[in-house]
Structure formats: C-alpha cells, structure tokens
Chain A
C-alpha cells in the first residue's frame, strides 16, 4: 500500500506513516483473505487494538511536530485527527456491542485504507510543503 510519493520529508512522520500503512495492509489481508472467519478474528482484534493505540501515538507526535514548526493549519488538522479517532473508537464500541461481524470489519478495513491514503497523500503533504517553504529539512 505504501508508496514513496506519500513521504512528506520529515523522517519521524514518514516512518510512522509507513508503519500505519503496513498495519492497515495486514488488517486488509487478514480481513479479505480466504479462510475461516473465527480463525482470522484473532488477527483482526489484535490489529484493531494496535491501530487504536498507534493512531493516537502517531497523531500526538504529528501534532507536536506541527506545534513545534508553527504549522498554520494545526487546529484544522487536529480536528480531522480527532474525528478519525472517534470513528475508529465508534467501530470498536460497535464490535463490542454487536460482535465482530465480517461485514462490519470489512467496512472498517475499507474506511481505514481510503482515509489513510487520502489523508497522508493530500492533507499531510501540506506539512512537508510548509517545512520546505520555511527553508527547513528534517
């Protein structure tokens, strides 16, 4: 899933993005692959748990970096992060309440993939552009 064109030129952020893409890719492989759903569930659950934690960790690191460089779109960007965290948490709550149905987990997989690509390939690129405008490299 990861492509080098998604890099923003900030080593810490790019490394975390690559990790996120790798995890979402594993999640999709687990969800879409052949095999018994009950068996795949364990991987789905552990990946989801990781995603919930890692997304928070990554967003915090990225937001800290934005504050450090005085990124002018910080508030707006943080709001987008917060909304995404809520979406992932809502799914997690629904899974607990209604069970890990294949359909709902696949829906989350599709959402994670499209959100991540669109966010990293478009919104996050503006952070890299701002760093370059300021004449800095990380």
Chain B
C-alpha cells in the first residue's frame, strides 16, 4: 500500500470535517490492516474501481457520530434516533 493512495482520502476527509463541522482533523499513526472489518457503530464503505480497485471504509464511534450530527443540524439526537442518522442506503 502506497501512502499516495491514502493521501487524497485523508485530504478529502479533512476538508469535509473543516467545512461542515469546523473541526480540525489530525492524522494518527499509519498501519496496515489485514481485513476490512468495521469496528465501530457507524460505517461507510465506498467501493472504488478504475486504475485502482478496492474499498474505503470510514468507521465512527456512536457518540462521535451523534456529536457530528448535532454540530451540523443543531439538534440533539438521542440514541434511539441513531439509526435514523445512519441510513443504510446510498445514492
């Protein structure tokens, strides 16, 4: 895995967090993961095809996800509403 493959996704993520939530994203240590297993409650998997093919997984803890929605919408969401903010369909 080359770092230049990861860089555009990192930059895009940083931009989105900055624009949408005024949050500064910092990169932690890079490590190779063998399997693509979602380890947290809110997950987004993006398939990529083209010169490179594979999947990109964004995985967020529940509390962080609810805080992100609160920052964007200005609404406090309870745990019971968690599913609603993580719709299972893409489009």
Chain A residues proximal to chain B, CB less than 8 Å: 1, 25, 28-29, 31-32, 87, 102-103, 106-107, 110-111, 113-114, 117-118, 121-122
Contacting residue for B72 out of A29, A32, A102, A117, CB 8 A:
A117
Chain B residues proximal to chain A, CB less than 8 Å: 15-16, 19-20, 72-75, 77, 81, 84-85, 87, 89, 91
Knowing A32-B77, A121-B19, A122-B19, the reply to whether A1 touches B72 (Cβ < 8 A) is yes
Q: Cα distance A113–B20 when bound, in Å?
A: 10
A118 with B73: CB separation less than 8 A: no
B73 with A121: CB separation less than 8 A: no
B74 with A32: CB separation less than 8 A: no
Which single residue of chain B is at the shortest CB-CB distance from A33?
B75
Contacting residue for A113 out of B15, B19, B73, B77, CB 8 A:
B73
Return A115 CB to nearest CB of chain B, in Å.
Answer: 11
B77 with A118: CB separation less than 8 A: no
**Residue numbers in B under 8 Å from A114 (CB-CB):** 20, 72
Subset of 15 A-B contacts with CB under 8 Å: A25-B74, A32-B77, A32-B81, A87-B91, A102-B84, A106-B85, A110-B87, A111-B91, A113-B72, A114-B20, A114-B72, A117-B72, A118-B19, A121-B19, A122-B19
